[in-house]
Amino acid sequence: MAATTTTRQAPVLPPPSGRAGFGGTLRSEFTKIRSVRSTYWTLLVLLAISIGIGAAICAGTAANWNQTSAADRATFDATQVSIAGLFYLGQLVIVVLGALVITSEYSTGMIRTSLTAMPRRVTVYAAKALVFAVIALAVTLVAAFIAFFLGQALLASTHENVTLSEPNVLRAVIGSALYVTLCGLFAFAAGAIFRHTAATITAIIGLLFVIPILIHLLPSSWYDDIVRWMPDSAGMAITATMAPQNSHLFSPWGQFSVFAVYTAILLIVGGILFRKRDA
Amino acid sequence: MIEVRGLSKRYGEKLAVNNLSFDVAPGKVTGFLGPNGAGTTTTMRLILGLDFPNAGTVTIDGKRYASMAYPMRELGALLDAKAVHGGRSAYNHLLCLAQTNNLPKRRVGEVLELVGLTEVARKRTKGFSLGMSQRLGIAATLLGDPKILMFDEPVNGLDPEGILWIRNFMKTLAAEGRTVFVSSHLMSEMENTADHLIVIGRGQLLADCTMDEFIARSSGQTVRVATPQPDLLVKAVAEAGGSAVNGADGTLIVSGLVAAQVGDLAFEHGVRLHELTVVRASLEAAFMELTADSVEYRGAESEQGQQPAPAQFGQTQSGQAQPPSPEQLVAQGQPGSEGGI
């Protein structure tokens, strides 16, 4: 690095027209997310878990089908089983990416550089959320369909395997991707509130994993009243192709809407705090 | 032009910036000085809208920074060179900043070239030395070819080559007609680069004037005298209320009197002079003197005590510096004077 670079001046910029807005910030956020390794790692792990766990469960089920009771066979949901890896474990992974998209800006200090370049904070927040959501949805859709087709192929010997044209199947497969994407956005919003990676991930995993386990310990009448308001119930409901065993849940889309509303509220709170607080 | 008006910012109990008003005029290097914790960084954060003030406004040519059509074309700021995602390459870091303001992609290559980082453009910034990070940060400020540049402690922790590079860079930028607003704790550095000074202590304005005026007003100014009759002169100086000590090479260092007074005294007492030189205080000495009351962390002293209001000078309504009047300068040297500042 020579010390003689000061005399050179770069060519002048084209004259400005219009105003820096959402489009440029979207491109910027896409550059950010595609230019760090954590994005690729988390999405690879997501794909591996979704496809791998789904395949393992399906292969295991097929191998033990002869010993499976008639009652269990009657309630066997081939669609849900094949995508269980995605909606049950994949949500854990997407939560990490959703949180990192915003908390890494705080842990590295990049947020101050970002907001200096683009001081319109609502624009930055919305662009960040949208870029993450689109990428998360694209990858989870790929994961869902691969897991589904692979799972059905592995279940062929049971003759329980289904196709996308059967009732509720397409809704369940796409719904699993939507649910996992929503989990990621939920974590993103929490990240904007906590501004700390570990705190955010701990809180979200507590909410999506630990609390659902704990409420099973409640008296069943309490549990029945509460379960439909739990965020993770959306995942179970939207991926089921049969009538739910738990009659206290809303319809699949109704249950999904409960979580969607929670996420929307959290995104708005996160956005307000992102706008109002000192960076 | 950056216009700061009545700016106050409180962090919990601590008033970091207290009713601060000043202008940063275009086309020159304005140094922003203050002891640690004086509020220089906070003021810069408030200018950029990173933090929100409790009172007061900051505008740039009359507009809020966040309302600018293309903020990066108006103002480039480097507050913390390490405020980057270390996993991202230098190129991608600059690209994601440039895209927010619809700046052309080629601009990224141009500024990398300008700061001499082309060879490491594809390297992740995690491995960058402080000097390289500093260059990367400066590259980012130049992306939008802005009229105003703002740097917080740009030479902190740099090696001499890096310091020289930044110093020349700032001078070049100002020579191109840009406004350069730069903070530093290194007084000697400011002395070499700044034309104008804004000095704050405990979040309040202490001085807003030219570099020359700032040093001239310091009561640390002395007069060096060479004479074959030192005893006579020492006596005369003492009678006139000044003091004289032995300097190097048999000279006398007179303080408390200005050069003209020393010369007159010598004439009246028939003392022959071989040399009569004004020794200007260094910026450092002037700064220490001015901020003596407002140093934030000083041993075990209580911070809660009421501070005397810091003296101000060089302020007119417009915030522009006014030239020192001869009376003021003379007054500093007179016996019994409290000193100008």
H runs (alpha helix) in B75-226: 90-100, 106-115, 130-142, 160-175, 187-193, 211-217
Residue that wins the pLDDT comparison between B215 and A254: A254
B80 vs A109: CB contact, 8 Å cut-off? yes
Q: Is A7 on the interface with B (CB under 8 A)?
A: yes
Is B69's CB within 8 Å of A18's CB? yes
- What residues of A are in contact with residue B86 (Cβ under 8 Å)? 108
Q: Hey, which residues 239-278 in chain A have their CB within 8 Å of chain B?
A: 276, 278
Indicate yes or no: CB of B100 within 8 angstroms of CB of A11. no
Asked if residue A8 is part of any domain, the answer here is no
Interface of B with A in 132-171 (CB under 8 A): 132, 135, 140, 142-145, 161, 164-165, 168-169
Residue A233 vs residue A7, higher pLDDT = A233
Instruction: Give the list of residues 6+ apart from residue B8 with CB closer than 8 angstroms, or none.
Output: B15, B17, B18, B19, B20, B53, B54, B55, B56, B203
How confident is the model at residue A9, as a pLDDT? 53
- Nearest CA to A178 out of A186, A209, A189 is that of A186
**Strand ranges of the sheet holding B14-24, from the earlier edge strand across to the other edge:** B14-24, B2-11, B55-60
Distance of CA B172 to the CA centre of its chain: 18
Per-residue burial over B197-212, b if 16 or more Cβ lie within 10 Å, else e, is bbbbbbbbbbbbbbbe
What pLDDT is stored for residue B284 in this prediction? 75
> Tens digits of per-residue pLDDT, B136-195?
999 999 999 999 999 999 888 788 888 888 888 888 888 888 999 999 877 777 887 888
Closest residue of B to A39, CA-based? B87
Please give the Cα distance from B331 to B326 (Å, whole number): 8
Distance, in Å, from the CA atom of B155 to the CA atom of B88, rounded to the nearest integer, reads: 24
Residue B278, pLDDT above cutoff 90: no
- Per-residue exposure over B148-160, b if at least 16 CB sit within 10 Å of its own CB, e if not: bbbbbbbbeebee
Residues facing B9 on adjacent strands = B17
Cβ-nearest to A112 among B50, B103, B164? B50
Give the chain B residue whose CA is nearest to the CA of A26.
B100
- Residue A196, chain B, CB below 8 Å: the answer is no
B322 pLDDT exceeds 50?
no
CA distances from B339 to B217, B263, B330 (A): 8, 21, 10
Place of tokens 């009657």: A74
Residue A146 lies in a domain: yes
Largest CA distance in chain B: 75
Would you say residue A95 lies in a domain?
yes
B73 CB-near residues (< 8 Å, 6+ apart): A13, A16, B101, B144, B145, B146, B147
Q: What is the nearest CA distance from A121 to chain B, expressed in angstroms?
A: 9
The class (CATH top level) of B2-216 is: alpha beta
Q: Give residue-wise pLDDT tens across range A186-223.
A: 999 999 999 999 999 999 999 988 888 898 898 988 88
Mean pLDDT across the stretch B286-303?
62
The whole-number average pLDDT for the span A53-60 is: 95
Query: Chain B partners of A36 at a C-beta cutoff of 8 Å?
Result: 85, 87-88
Nearest CA in chain B to A4: B165
Residue with tokens 């854990």: A92
Separation in Å, CA of A34 to nearest CA in chain B: 9
Residue B329 buriedness (CB in 10 A; 0-12 / 13-18 / 19+): middle
Residue with tokens 């020159």: B28
Q: Which residues of B touch A117 (CB under 8 A)?
A: 71-72, 97, 100-101, 140, 143
Length of chain A: 279
CATH topology of domain B222-279: Alpha-Beta Plaits (3.30.70)
Q: How sure is the predictor about B303, in pLDDT bands with cuts at 50, 70 and 90?
A: very low
Tell me if chain B has a CB within 8 Å of the CB of A15.
Answer: no
Q: Both tokens of residue B315?
A: 């302020």
Specify the higher pLDDT residue, B250 or A67: A67
pLDDT above 60 (res A156): yes
Write down the pLDDT at residue A216: 86
A205 in Cβ contact with A190 (< 8 Å): no
User: Which residue, among B167, B138, B171, B173, has the nearest Cα to B155 in the 3D structure?
Assistant: B167
DSSP assigned state of B89: B
Confirm or reject contact between A115 and chain B (CB < 8 A). yes
Tokens standing for residue A22:
């959402």
Q: Which of residues 43-62 of B touch A (CB under 8 A)?
A: 45, 48-52
Contact B150, B45 (CB under 8 A): no
Considering its fold, how many domains does chain A have in total?
Answer: 1
Does A29 sit within 8 Å of B50, measured CB to CB? no
Across residues A137-145, what is the average pLDDT? 97
A124 or B341: which leads in pLDDT: A124
pLDDT of B329 reads 34
Tell me the average pLDDT across B74-102: 96
The answer for residues whose C-beta is within 8 angstroms of residue B87's C-beta and 6 or more apart is: A36, A37, A38, B124, B126
- pLDDT greater than 70 at residue B337: no
Interface touch A35/B164, C-beta < 8 Å: no
Q: Decide if pLDDT at B320 tops 80.
A: no
For residue B228 the two structure tokens come to 């074959």
What does chain B come to in residues?
A: 341
Query: Which helix or strand (DSSP H or E) is residue B44 part of?
Result: helix B40-48
Q: Do B100 and A105 touch (CB under 8 A)?
A: no
- Which residues in chain A touch residue B102, judged by CB atoms under 8 angstroms apart? 18, 20, 23-24
Domain spans of chain B, in order of start? 2-216, 222-279
Of B95, B101, B169, nearest to A20 by CB-CB distance is B101
Contacts of A276 in chain B (CB under 8 A): 52
Rounded distance between C-alpha atoms, residue B216 and residue B286, angstroms: 9
Q: Which of residues 76-105 of B touch A (CB under 8 A)?
A: 77, 79-80, 82-89, 92-93, 95-97, 99-104
DSSP code for A21:
-
CB contact under 8 Å between B145 and A10, yes or no, is yes
* Gyration radius (Cα) of chain A, Å: 22
Residue A105 belongs to what domain range? 26-64+72-276
The confidence score (pLDDT) of residue B297 equals 57
Q: How far apart are CA A167 and CA B147, in angstroms?
A: 63
Average pLDDT, integer, range B97-125: 95
Q: In the structure, what pLDDT confidence band is assigned to residue B319 with cuts at 50, 70 and 90?
A: very low
Range 173-212 of B in CB contact (< 8 A) with A: 176
B220 or B106, higher pLDDT: B106
**What ipTM does this complex have?**
0.90
Taking the CA of residue B129 and the nearest CA in chain A, the distance in Å comes to: 12
Task: Give, as one character, the DSSP assignment of residue A109.
Answer: S
